[in-house]
Amino acid sequence: MSHPTHPPKHAPLPPGNPAGGPVVMQAECCRELPLVDGAPPARLLLAPAGAFVGRDGRRYRLDDPPALAATLNATGADLPLDWEHATELLAPLGQRADAAAWLSDFRADPEGMTAAVAWNAQGADSVQSRGYRYYSPAYYVAADRSITGLSSVGLTNKPNLRQLPALNSENSTMPDLLPAPLAHALALPADADAATAVAAVSALQTELNALRTATPDLSRFVPRADYDTAINRAAAAETALRTAQAAELNRQVDALLERGLREARITPPTVEYHRAQAQSAGGLERLTAFLAAAPAVLDSETRTVKPPQGAAELNAEQRAIMDAFGNTPELLAKYGASA
């Protein structure tokens, strides 16, 4: 397909950029061009109202569609709809940048700003033949990412224009916008650029360095040495308390066991069992209750019987056996008392 050979007849670019700012080829409006009864559309949406994000990740904002439409209409010049952004890429190099159509009658519609499209034969053929299926506006954008003007529109088959540079008359590039998660993490606005992020990180680094070198507020912080000393003293006190509590428990248990043996409510073989049970949680209370309710294993006469006259005195081990089995010195003497 051949493009027209006549030179472009649109007005110089500055009239479409009354507020200044670089030209940015935008992918958000790279929509498929619909055919209406087999013909290219007679009107196109060029900029959505409000904030929007391009497919290439760049963010833009159109705050006042009526004002922008009025500004473009006031120039009295139609704007070109070319092929592959030739107006922005080839014209500055002195190469041809022919128009496929001309844009005029800019209006603020519910969706945003639209324009009437007057197609020439070659442009209409590009769309009707489906040689080109998308269109992409080239905006003038201020530092706050608001759209201040429209330079041109290009037919394209590459909806994602990430690879295309952002141009202005001085060949400067637009700053890259931050990914949304990074902007959120730095508490920056959605339209923040890399320079703003660098400034935010530098400020955080400065604040961090100041905190590292500042004398701590003793009402909020404790010197590490004092903290460690306090922790060690607390640990030592807790250990001493546990030791004292264990000693007191053992004293009370021993007293209960001695009383139990004395009253014959327990026997010597069961002393260690009762001692171990008393060491568990609530064990002292359970042992006290048991001794209060348990009957005597041996009667008082058996516990106080003395050896018969002339019998040998029993040693401690023999007496323990006698008490455990309810024997008497007479029985031991009769059946043998040797251990």
Number of compact structural domains in the chain = 3
**Of the candidates 278, 297, 316, which is a domain's last residue?**
297
| Structural tokens at position 42 | 């007679």
pLDDT at 215: 77
Question: Residues 185, 77: one domain?
Answer: yes
pLDDT at 73: 94
pLDDT at 303: 53
Does 316 fall in a domain?
yes
The DSSP result for 147-182, as a single string, is: EEEEEEEEEES-S--TTSPPB-TT---PPPBPPHHH
Does 8 fall in a domain?
no
The span from the CA of 155 to the CA of 137, in Å, is: 9
Secondary structure E strands in 14-146: 23-25, 31-32, 43-48, 50-53, 59-62, 79-83, 99-109, 112-119, 134-141
Question: Residues 99, 248: one domain?
Answer: no
Question: Residues 95, 40: one domain?
Answer: yes
**Of the candidates 175, 195, 215, which is a domain's last residue?**
195
Q: Which amino acid is at 3?
A: H
170 neighbors 98 (Cβ within 8 angstroms): no
| Structural tokens at position 89 | 């890429």
pLDDT at 312: 59
Phi, psi (5° rounding) for residue 68? -65, -45
pLDDT at 168: 27
Residues of the domain holding 263:
223-297
**DSSP-assigned beta bridge partners for residue 80:** 102
Question: Residues 188, 144: one domain?
Answer: yes
* Spatial CB neighbours of 67, under 8 Å, sequence gap ≥ 6: none
Residue 250: helix, strand or coil by DSSP?
Answer: helix
Question: Residues 166, 247: one domain?
Answer: no
Does 133 fall in a domain?
yes
Secondary structure E strands in the chain: 23-25, 31-32, 43-48, 50-53, 59-62, 79-83, 99-109, 112-119, 134-141, 147-156
Question: Residues 331, 188: one domain?
Answer: no
| Structural tokens at position 119 | 């197609």
Give tens-digit pLDDT for 126-184. Answer: 999 999 988 888 888 888 888 888 889 999 887 544 333 332 223 334 455 667 788 88
Question: Residues 91, 76: one domain?
Answer: yes
Question: Residues 187, 160: one domain?
Answer: yes
Counting as low any pLDDT under 70, the low residues of the chain are 1-31, 55-56, 159-178, 298-314, 325-339
| Structural tokens at position 186 | 């730095």
Question: Residues 93, 228: one domain?
Answer: no
Does 147 fall in a domain?
yes
The span from the CA of 267 to the CA of 287, in Å, is: 14
| Structural tokens at position 249 | 């428990």
Does 204 fall in a domain?
no
The span from the CA of 166 to the CA of 48, in Å, is: 20
pLDDT at 169: 29
Does 217 fall in a domain?
no
Cβ atoms within 10 Å, residue 333: 15
Question: Residues 235, 124: one domain?
Answer: no
The span from the CA of 132 to the CA of 114, in Å, is: 20
Does 236 fall in a domain?
yes
